[in-house]
Amino acid sequence: MPELPEVEVSRLGISPHLIGQRIQAIMVRQVQLRWPIPGEVQYAVGREIRDVRRRAKYLLIDTDVGSLILHLGMSGSLRVVDIDTPVQKHDHVDIQLHNGKCLRFNDPRRFGACLWQAAGETPIELLERLGPEPLTDAFDGRRLYELSRNKTLAVKNFIMDNQIVVGVGNIYASESLFMAGVDPRKAAGKVTKGAYEKLAAAIKQVLAHAIQQGGTTLKDFTQADGNPGYFAQELQVYGRAGEPCRVCENPVQSLTIGQRNSFYCKKCQR
């Protein structure tokens, strides 16, 4: 599943091709994605794209009347192509532009989304309950500490809760906890304020580095130019069960936390 860095890399890739362009047509070939594509998306036709933003893992294509909201789901990808580029299997939505280009949304598993947010209205429920962005000043160790008091769930699950902070997916949660030296199994309410300060800083550093490197290399994700990300080759613990820790050389451990594969070092993480 594309995580926050992959979505941000996708935003950075498509933005220069979209901003300032007028939407000529929106072609929907498959209306049934994770949620049915609403007819209101056609309100964007004829409007100029003012900005391309990201909120958590959602991409918002802004016009004066509202925003198209895209989510890549488990296997979605976005490509900027010529309008007459032959359609491939699972190309479900085309946002066609007046300059002859189009933003093409491909989603083999159909867990993605294409929704509409009218300008000036209350944010749709999917966006309204989201926590702060991890790379902003609104997110810090104090927030993690205060919201975690008396929480018995594992700290890894805690930081993956989008109401606490958005965009810390499974891969980057494991990497951030390793960098901060925090055991992913530890109860969130037992983590000290100092450890949360380190963890918040680690989350920011890991995500920023991933964005810079182009996102994690996942077989289901491709950037707007078709090139995969390169961050996977630098992962410290994720996917490295049984291999030596890069710090202490003890074997990396794996276990399931919250039905997700988790990786950590028993010696380095307390």
Mean pLDDT of 246-258: 97
What confidence tier does 226 reach under pLDDT thresholds 50, 70, 90?
A: low
The number of angstroms, rounded, from the C-alpha of 79 to the middle of its chain's C-alpha atoms is 17
Are 239 and 263 in contact, with CB atoms under 8 Å apart?
A: yes
Give the start-to-end residue ranges of the domains of the chain: 4-128, 141-264
Class of the domain covering 141-264 = mainly alpha
Please give the structure tokens belonging to residue 136.
């902003």
State pTM to two decimals: 0.88
For residue range 83-138, list pLDDT tens digits in order: 999 999 999 999 999 999 999 999 999 999 999 999 999 989 999 999 999 999 99
Within 10 angstroms of residue 182's Cβ, the number of other Cβ atoms is: 24
pLDDT band at 75 (very low <50, low <70, confident <90, very high): confident
- pLDDT number for residue 221: 39
Check residues 54 and 210 and name the one with the higher pLDDT.
54
| 79 catalytic per annotation | no
98 marked ligand binding residue: no
* Catalytic (active site) residue 57: yes
What backbone torsions phi and psi does residue 65 show, to the nearest 5 degrees?
A: -100, -10
Q: What is the CATH number of domain 4-128?
A: 3.20.190.10
Task: Kindly state the average pLDDT of the residues 65-85.
Answer: 94
Between helix 193-213 and helix 4-18 the angle, nearest 10°, is: 40
Work out the end-to-end distance of the chain between its first and last CA atoms, rounded to an integer number of angstroms. Answer: 28
pLDDT at res. 228: 46
* pLDDT value of residue 265: 98
Query: Distance (Å, rounded) from C-alpha 49 to C-alpha 270?
Result: 48
Say whether 2 is catalytic: yes
Judge whether 270 counts as a catalytic residue: no
Provide the H-helix boundaries in the chain: 4-18, 125-128, 141-148, 155-159, 170-180, 193-213
- Of 62 and 226, the one with more pLDDT: 62
Catalytic-labelled residue, pool 57, 79, 104, 240: 57
Q: Say yes or no to pLDDT of 218 above 70.
A: no
* 96, β-bridge pairs: 25, 102
For the segment 132-172, what is each residue's pLDDT rounded down to a tens digit? 999 999 999 999 999 999 999 999 999 999 999 999 999 99
